[in-house]
Structure 1
Amino acid sequence: MAPQLSSIAASSGLCLLSVLAIALLAVTIYILGVVASFAAFCIREFVVSAKDRPPLIGTMFRMLKNFDRLFDDHVEYALAHRTSRLVFPGHSEILTSDPQVIEHVLKTSFGKYIKGGFKTEAMKDLFGDGIFATDGEKWRHQRKLASHEFSTKVLRDFSSGVFRINAAKLAEKISSAAANRTTIDMQGLLMKATMDSIFKVGFGFELNTLFGLDESSIQFSEAFDEANSLVYHRYLDIFWQLKRLLNVGSEAKLKRSIQIIDNFVMHLIHQKREQLKNERDCKAREDILSRFILESKRDPETMNDHYLRDIVLNFLIAGKDTTANTLSWFFYMLCKNPLVQDKVAHEIIELLEWDKEDNNIENFAARLTEGAIEKMHYLHAAISETLRLYPAVPVDGKLADEDDVLPNGYRVIKGDGMNYMIYAMGRMTYLWGQDAEEFRPERWLVNGVFQLESPYKFVCFNAGPRICLGKEFAYRQMKIMAATLVHFFRFKLADESKEPTYKIMFTLHMDKGLHLYAHPRSA
């Protein structure tokens, strides 16, 4: 019996070794194929490249070398050339800070540039067929639906009410820390507050991550943030598809996070469908999911539960991370520029005619109506100045679907990536003047009134047919939250000597948070 067991064990061991050997051989062939393809493409691009192509400044390895400071590298690219090019395996990535080129890509020749197969495949596991990851008919369908919903007074009034409630909750949370003279991680609190707001507006349910009352909500929120980061890293990981196939490393983590997200969201969709069957109160129809479910009755095959999941998750990432990250940088800049912080506070008191001695947070937030915040031009300018230097989306791009010639004469080949470097653009003196790196809200004001810039120069909300539908929605949420917090507190950095750094994600996220002291402004 023992020899038989030995024989079986030996056979199993040999079988396992054979599988490992085959897997190792497959990985080796894959790597050699990628390297050979990349080498051949590089030779063609470096040696044979035509003079009418954008200046070649390196390969993907230049980007990988300084990946942790990627957006500062973009500043160096933009200073050297307004339009340049990096070589990636099988294609080139064109990078530009030229508003004329951006207008050409996003508007004039809109039909020649798409999201592209590589980007949509990289994003699909998290974003599915949502508006940020699709082209063509699916994009047009969602754009039309979203355009209608964002223009409705019902959604505008409902969302403003939600923003005021959560701004008051956040202020109460900070008030406790101020009373105890303890530091706060402002970015962490803002991420929770905006998640709660956008979840209520998007799904019609209370998530309440700000007070950490529900374990499944916290688990969902953490999984959502981790998936966001892991998906972005796919863009520079040439082995991500292999790792996904083998379910190892970052791809195994991503799969677990997306499973948590899907289970949570699909449960809410089913719950919302049941609620709408039995709910006669029109208040149950104010959130975005409810309105899309009602719309889905006209086309149930297209707008099934998975499609609804994709639509709302895309809305969630657009409204949560961008707003929280922008407000984090906003409060950082207020701490670095205390005179600006005081000017914002003064404008709020002056416009609302608020009694300085009245410390009722809920009453104050209720006064932040749409009409009131529209008059806050200096606050609007300070937020816009933050977005200029610290854009919520630091780089964005498309893919050339056909050959093209840019306004600067450079030739684009089908398959080229086309990236506009939004973070770098805010620091270019040839766009913003010699004080481009200074935080100066006044640059946006003429006789105290806010003045718009060209969306192709200030690309924070995209431009052309794909311009952000939630731009006014985002400003409204940011102004309500900022006005509430600045009115009640004066903020100071916990450590003046520390400069914040960003984490490489879809949005400009502060690495390790923003640690502040909050002092009651009345004091």
Structure 2
Amino acid sequence: MELCSVFLPTILLLLLSVLYSAILFFKRSAPPKATESLVLKSYPVIGNLPHFIKNGRRLLEWTTDLIASSPTGTVTVAPIVFTANPTNVEHVARTNFQNYPKGGEILSTFHDFLGRGIFNSNGEEWLLQRKAASFEFNTKSLRAFVLDKVRHETVDRLIPLLKRAGRSGEVLDLQDVLERFAFDNICSLVFGEDPKCLALESEDGERFYHAFHEATELSIERAKQPFSLIWKLSKWLDLESERRLRESMETVHGLVEKYVRSRRKLSREGGGSDFLSRFAADGAHSDEFIRDILISFVLAGRDTTPTALTWFFWILSSKPEVVEKIREEIRVIRSQRRNYDSEVLTLDELREMGYLHAALSESMRIYPPVPLRPCESRREDELPDGTRVRKGWTVMYSTYAMGRAEGIWGQDCGEFRPERWMEDGVFQPASPFRYTVFHAGPRMCLGKDMAYIQMKAVAASILEGFEVEVVENRGKHHLSMTMRMEGGLPVRIKERNIS
């Protein structure tokens, strides 16, 4: 009798919940008006979980199809709202920015790896890091430092590697080459330390590279779990995936903390141009906080530019006319500046390369490095297109779907056409609320200009000096921290005679 009295209220509450959900599910409501966003009908009790399980491996395609079928470019799959509507993006990313921070579940999922770094924080902690990073990114000395590191990595490592592969006929995984290139560069920028991953010359660098990659992948696997309780239980039980994550994080944190302690001592003697020297010289932050900030910077530089360049070279493999236009642009700029011998273009020359800039932008429109941008609603809200958002729901704008939206880019949105970015021979940028590759509003990417510098320097050097042949069928994506190419990009290199 006592047992019944304890469980009866719970059982009745559960039955009422099931009955209420069933009524909502079977209720025949009027079809949505032409101006209403699409709302995916959920199942009783379990909601939309079956939809996410069924489409988990094709999330981008599934949500893009749903968005395309919605009159407003928005679809509600409670508790998530997916949108490709520029007015909604502006509302979430700028107008009502304070209501849409990063969600608590996301922060919790990545906390072990990213701590309180800029990519895993809100409020004052985020603002503090944003202001400090914004100041650093806007200094001329930093831009010169970045280009100097890119030039060194290109001339001393990338070009010799490609020449050797061309002579031997070796097949290279271009995605792996570009990721190692980017990792060397971002570590030099952030820590003032060169891991020499592209040259395979450092055991510590190789260990850092692989540990960082594994920690990133396993953290993403956490985020893909339908309930956070699953990974938390796995962590408590010390299951294999969580054990591997802990071990890889220990490697990453240990090396970064070693760099921080070392630079603390040097900063008293004058410091350097890298981020670590600049933050260490401040003396206002703990070693752990600096560690978290720097890991976020490495994450940003390691993944995004190589992902963008991998898709770019894959697209160009079937666009010889675009390749020739880029090469002609390089020839013209070199001729005008009488720069015939340097293997890397100067900063001013790279900035003049409007067509290459357009081709890279067009590639990222179709294959954005970060295809989905989530945030969480603090309060109930209504988006500009009328979509209702409940407190605690996730609003996710899809850069991937926006790049394929006919309403934004026209009927030829499925075509790769760099000319859409050019007007009278000059590159014309798009609104960040239409072209969300670099985010928008207060969280807009601070490294955008430097990302373009690096991508243009690498792309120009490779296209000018080499023919790149893709030797295996590719084109499928793998969703990690970025939209990497599944299986890499195997290519064969042939050196060009440009004399």
Normalising by structure 2, what TM-score?
A: 0.89
- Residues 118, 516 of structure 1: alpha-carbon distance in 2 compared, 3 angstrom cutoff: same
Alignment counterpart, residue 87 of structure 2, candidates 85, 92, 100: 100
- The equivalent residue for 1:381 is 358
Which of 431, 435, 443 is matched with 2:408 structurally? 431
Q: 1:44 to 1:189 in 2, by over 3 A?
A: farther
Task: Output aligned runs, 1:370-409, within 5 Å.
Answer: 370-409=347-386
State the match for 1:335 in structure 2: 317
Question: SS of the counterpart of 1:221?
Answer: helix
Q: Which among 138, 150, 165 is matched to residue 177 of structure 1?
A: 165
- Once residues 165 and 137 of structure 1 are traced to their aligned partners in structure 2, the CA distance between those partners, rounded to angstroms, is 37
The one-letter amino acid paired with 2:262 is: Q
How much does 1:506 deviate? Answer: 1.8
SS of corresponding position for 2:259: helix
Q: Does 1:56 align with 2:45?
A: no
User: Quick one: distance in 1 between partners of 2:491 and 2:295?
Assistant: 31
Q: What SS does structure 2 have at the residue aligned with 1:336?
A: coil
Q: Distance in 2 between matches of 1:39 and 1:260?
A: 48
Shift of 1:410: 1.6
Preserved contact between residue 78 and residue 425 of structure 1 (Cα < 8 Å): no
Contact 2:380 2:390 in 1 (8 A): yes
Query: Residues of 2 paired with 1:38 and 1:125: CA distance?
Result: 36
The superposition leaves residues 301-360 of structure 1 with CA deviations (integer Å, 9 ceiling, x where unpaired) of xx11111111111111111100110011111111121111111111112102299997x6
Query: Is residue 2:260 matched to residue 1:273?
Result: no
**What is the CA–CA distance in structure 2 between the aligned matches of 1:334 and 1:111, rounded to whole Å?**
41
Runs of 4+ in 1 over 6 A off after TM superposition: 35-42, 47-53, 354-358
Distance 1:373 1:66 in 2: 42
From the superposition, tell whether residues 232 and 41 of structure 1 become closer, same or farther in structure 2 (CA, over 3 Å).
farther
Aligned equivalents of 2:162, 2:321: Cα separation in 1: 22
Residues 79 and 273 (structure 1), Cα distance of their counterparts in 2 relative to 1, 3 Å cut: same
Separation in 2, partners of 1:100, 1:423: 16
CA contact 1:96–1:419 (8 Å) conserved in 2: yes
Count of aligned pairs: 470
Structure 1 residues 119 and 482: alpha-carbon distance in aligned structure 2, compared to 1, 3 A threshold: same
Relative distance call for 1:353 and 1:76 in structure 2 (3 A) is: same
In the alignment, is the contact (CA less than 8 A) between 1:54 and 1:411 conserved in 2? no
Superposition RMSD in Å: 2.5
Report the CA distance shift for 1:277/1:406 in structure 2 as closer, same or farther (over 3 A): same
Answer whether contact 2:93 2:442 (CA < 8 A) is retained.
yes
Give the aligned residue type for 1:338.
Answer: P
Letter in 2 for 1:265: V
Quote the Cα distance in structure 2 between the aligned partners of 1:307 and 1:331: 37
Q: Distance in 2 between the 1:109 and 1:49 partners?
A: 34
* 1:243 Cα deviation from its structure 2 partner: 0.7
Aligned residue identity for 1:60: L
Aligned position for 1:521: 496
1:38 Cα deviation after fit? 11
1:167 aligns with 2:127: no
What is the CA distance between 1:521 and its match in structure 2? 1.9
* In structure 1, distance between residues paired with 2:413 and 2:103: 33
Match for residue 66 of structure 2 among 36, 59, 77: 77
Q: Note the C-alpha offset of 1:39.
A: 7.1
Q: Is the contact between residue 117 and residue 293 of structure 2 (CA under 8 Å) also seen in structure 1?
A: yes
- Residue from 137, 156, 164 that aligns with 2:124: 137
CA distance in structure 1 between the partners assigned to 2:477 and 2:364 by the alignment = 14
| 2:130 aligned with 1:148 | no
Which stretch of structure 1 is more off in the superposition, 66-75 or 146-155?
66-75
Residues 372, 396 of structure 2: 8 Å contact kept? yes
Distance 2:19 2:436 in 1: 35
CA-to-aligned-CA distance 1:32-72 (integer Å, 9 cap, x gap): xxx99997996587468998885125513322223222212
In structure 1, the residue matched to 2:296 is 314
* Conservation of the 8 A alpha-carbon contact between 2:357 and 2:427: yes
Q: SS state of the match for residue 431, structure 1?
A: helix
Task: Report what 1:255 is aligned to.
Answer: 246
Structure 2 counterpart of 1:31: none
SS in 1 for 2:289: helix
1:215 equivalent to 2:206? Answer no
Q: Does 1:225 align with 2:213?
A: yes
* Cα displacement (A) at 1:490: 1.4
**Contact between 2:37 and 2:74, CA under 8 Å: does it hold in 1?**
no
Contact 1:95–1:419 (8 Å) recurs in 2: yes
CA contact under 8 A between 2:373 and 2:396: conserved in structure 1?
yes
For the residue of structure 2 that corresponds to 1:418, the secondary structure is strand
* Partner SS state of residue 268, structure 2: helix
Share of identical aligned residues, percent?
34
Paired with 2:140 and 2:102, the residues of 1 have a C-alpha distance of 32
Distance 1:478 1:57 in 2: 43
Mapping for residues 18-29 of structure 1, pairs under 5 Å:
none
Q: Does 1:325 align with 2:307?
A: yes
Which amino acid counterpart does residue 507 of structure 1 have in structure 2?
T
* Preserved contact between residue 70 and residue 504 of structure 1 (Cα < 8 Å): no
**Partner of residue 19, structure 1:** none
Q: TM-score, normalised by structure 1?
A: 0.85
User: Which ranges of structure 1 fall in alignment gaps of 5 or more residues?
Assistant: 1-34
Tell me, yes or no, if the aligned pair for 2:165 and 2:172 is still in contact at 8 Å: yes
Deviation at 1:435, TM superposition (A): 1.2
Contact 1:93 1:417 in 2 (8 A): yes
Report the secondary structure of 1:468's partner residue. Answer: coil
* C-alpha distance after superposition, 1:212-234 (max 9, x if no partner): 11112111111111221221222
C-alpha spacing 1:271/1:435, structure 2 compared with 1 (3 Å): same
